[in-house]
Structure 1
Amino acid sequence: MFLLACSLQGAVAEPWWASALHIARQLAAAPQTERPEKWMIKGGAAQVPPLLAADIQKLAGKVLLKSSVHSIKQAGNHVSVHTEKDHIKAKAVVVSMPPHLAGRIPYDPPMPPARDQLTQRVFMGSIMKVVATYHTPFWREDPSTNFTIAFDPATSGPIRTIYDVTPPVEIGGGGSGVLAGFVIEDAAVPAVRGGAENADSE
């Protein structure tokens, strides 16, 4: 029941695919009582990478694009990162890739067996986001309307949860109402495959 409840509240996995440890950590970091889904970034989350890159460049750092990492080697007090074109030395390396992709990078010395097992068993969930825009957020006129709507997967369609993501006027919202729905895992995978097949046929 714990996994099912968490899945319906927005986890991007079916209950039998989810990690109870990860969900517990997620709930501890962003308790549902604080309604973390209402937090928004002024200007949108898409601006985070370029802003981060700009800060790195201000500190005389470099941002290398199209430079896939072929190996990471640790020797003494430094780490070497090898790409197709570059050989970079640093005091430390942060690998911020999804675990199952990070596990494909050759490491020297090799990662501990427990780390290898983790990267082999942790995968990214399948999720599709659908956004509907309305002239006004009319649902807010009813005080009893919940901020988040969760559907029973046994009786509902492919959309499991719907969130009110209407941006406030003070961060750029123009008065329109915006709802975001999520199609996850068992419903998302066939939809993605169907889309790919349709694209190929066209």
Structure 2
Amino acid sequence: MSENGNREQGGVSRRGVLAAGGGLAAAGLALGRTPAAQAAPMSTSADVVVVGAGISGLTTARRLVQAGVGSVLVLEANDRVGGRTENLDAGNGVITEGGGQWVGPGQDRVLALIDELGLETFKTHVEGKSIYLRNGNRQTYEGTIPPLSPDALADWAQLQTRLEQMASTVPAEAPWNAQNAFEWDSTTFGAWLDANSVSAEAKWLLTLGFSVIFAEDPHNTSFLRALHAIGSSGGIEHMMNATGGAQESRIVGGSQLISQRMAEQLGNRVIAGSPVTEISQGSQGVLVKSARAQVQCKRVIVAMAPADAERIRFTPGLPGRRAMLQRKWHNGTENKLAAIYDEPFWRSQGFSGQAMTDLPGAAYVVDNSPPDGSIGILLTFIGTAGYGPGLKWSDAILDDPGARRAAFLDGLAALFGPKAAQPTGCVEKDWLHEPWIEGGVSTRAPGTLTQYRNAAREPVGRIHWAGTETGIMYEGYMDAAVSAGERAAKEVSQLL
């Protein structure tokens, strides 16, 4: 990996799709033009229409083309590709990720795709001391285990053991078939922790960890969903660790580059700024209506979270289980906020840049600097729904980006000293107000898995479903987005 890799690819990550849009522009469908600027939608035909140009949708289209499907068209509501991955400009050609960013061992499908696209990964920076701050007590430690009290450490161990034992009984492909599925799906993960934790510290740390993973307070997340995630994503330690775990590596140039590279290669098959409004099935095919194109096709693959698909009118109406799933689906919502510095100064002071705290502005902090360390970036997750007891945001902070940044910088100063309060800039990705995406992370409320079972991925006539929510392993991760796209492409190509 070259020292300049991130800077060079960072430029591509902001401009690559537009620069590669020769085919798109030639067709009069260049990315970035808003629907309001378009004339009446063009009428065309295709073998398959893919709705959604995130990682899953673009993987679907890529695999269909590779399988020899005659014509494939991708319709994307946003004026960019990438879905829940988005690169934010940190200056000087460097990016920081505003959405999904980490890959690690076991995530074989996304790692294979990264390699196929000629992209590179680099390890998350973990060298040095990490910080653990709770109830005003600031401690430092090395390795992956925070300096818990003996009682908390023992409680953590028993909770982890019990959770992973229960998770091992949950079938990855059909969690609703677990022996205790209805019992576990009728309560929340937070309620289970409340009833089974002995140590307040261990419960607090598990709440923090899974709040970041699900972008939601565990008291709003189905216990069955939590167990399914633990069992199908490598276990608790694997999910939370940057050393050999799910947070081990990032993509040089940012995770959005995966989608941008696929879109470049798909060329004028991708139409952005064209939200789909209606999908009508008939005996001879499907009519897909969008802002910029009206397409008659044989099959449709909707690569969107169920809540996002609820914006589309389906004719005839969807089966009851699928329709109710879309109406009741809820993705966790958290923003990502990054402070940018001339250099990663904490490294020379012996710190890794990672911190776990009860500070409301900096509950979980990581070093998100580029691979060459040319600038320093500290990143946190802003839980807009509140992260359990003692970690909730006030309405004033939720509604004021300036107040969020101030709280974040105050927290960083408490962790890394006064220099941390003086960044050269801050960037934030606000997922709460994202126009076309209902939250950034896959989660499920109690009852969703057992009531609606496989409705997230069961085809409805000529309509098929992709998206990370339809993945079996690593649901909610980029890996599940890729595997779901590959599964949907195979499903449709075999029928064609």
Question: TM (normalized to structure 2)?
Answer: 0.33
Aligned equivalents of 1:43, 1:68: Cα separation in 2: 27
Q: Which moved more, 1:27-36 or 1:98-107?
A: 27-36
Matching residue of 1:103: 310
Give the letter aligned to residue 29 of structure 1: S
Within the candidate set 146, 170, 182, 2:381 is matched to 182
Please tell me whether residue 168 in structure 1 is matched to residue 371 in structure 2: yes
SS of corresponding position for 2:399? helix
Matching residue of 1:48: 258
Q: Would the aligned equivalents of 1:38 and 1:165 in 2 still touch at CA under 8 Å?
A: no
SS of corresponding position for 1:47? helix
Give the letter aligned to residue 193 of structure 1: D
Matching residue of 1:200: none
Q: Would the aligned equivalents of 1:127 and 1:188 in 2 still touch at CA under 8 Å?
A: no
Within the candidate set 357, 365, 386, 1:151 is matched to 357
Seen in structure 2, the aligned counterparts of structure 1 residues 151 and 6 have a Cα distance that, compared at 3 Å, is same
Asked which structure has the greater CA Rg, the reply is: 2
Instruction: Quote how far apart the aligned CAs of 1:53 are.
Output: 1.6
Please tell me whether residue 8 in structure 1 is matched to residue 216 in structure 2: no
Give the letter aligned to residue 260 of structure 2: P
Seen in structure 2, the aligned counterparts of structure 1 residues 64 and 112 have a Cα distance that, compared at 3 Å, is same
- 1:120-159 alignment runs, 5 A limit: 120-134=327-341, 135-136=343-344, 138-139=346-347, 142=350, 148-152=354-358, 156-159=359-362
Please tell me whether residue 193 in structure 1 is matched to residue 399 in structure 2: yes
Deviations 1:64-120, CA, capped at 9 Å, x for gaps: 222221211223463321124532133332222332121131112322211122212
Instruction: Quote how far apart the aligned CAs of 1:8 are.
Output: 2.4
Seen in structure 2, the aligned counterparts of structure 1 residues 42 and 146 have a Cα distance that, compared at 3 Å, is closer
Q: Would the aligned equivalents of 2:337 and 2:380 in 1 still touch at CA under 8 Å?
A: yes
SS of corresponding position for 2:340? strand
- 1:72-83 alignment runs, 5 A limit: 72-76=279-283, 78-83=285-290
Structure 1 residue runs of 5 or longer lacking an equivalent are: 197-202
Aligned equivalents of 2:248, 2:334: Cα separation in 1: 19
Q: Give % identity.
A: 21
Deviations 1:4-42, CA, capped at 9 Å, x for gaps: 526524221112222444444544236425422232111
SS of corresponding position for 2:302? coil
Structure 2 residue runs of 5 or longer lacking an equivalent are: 1-158, 164-188, 191-205, 387-391, 403-496
Give the letter aligned to residue 287 of structure 2: S
Aligned equivalents of 1:75, 1:97: Cα separation in 2: 22
Give the letter aligned to residue 382 of structure 2: V
Which has the bigger relative contact order, CA under 8 A and spacing at least 6? 2
Instruction: Quote how far apart the aligned CAs of 1:141 are.
Output: 6.1
Q: Count matched residues.
A: 184
Please tell me whether residue 29 in structure 1 is matched to residue 239 in structure 2: no
SS of corresponding position for 1:37? coil
Q: Would the aligned equivalents of 2:353 and 2:378 in 1 still touch at CA under 8 Å?
A: no
Q: Would the aligned equivalents of 1:68 and 1:83 in 2 still touch at CA under 8 Å?
A: yes
Matching residue of 2:273: 66
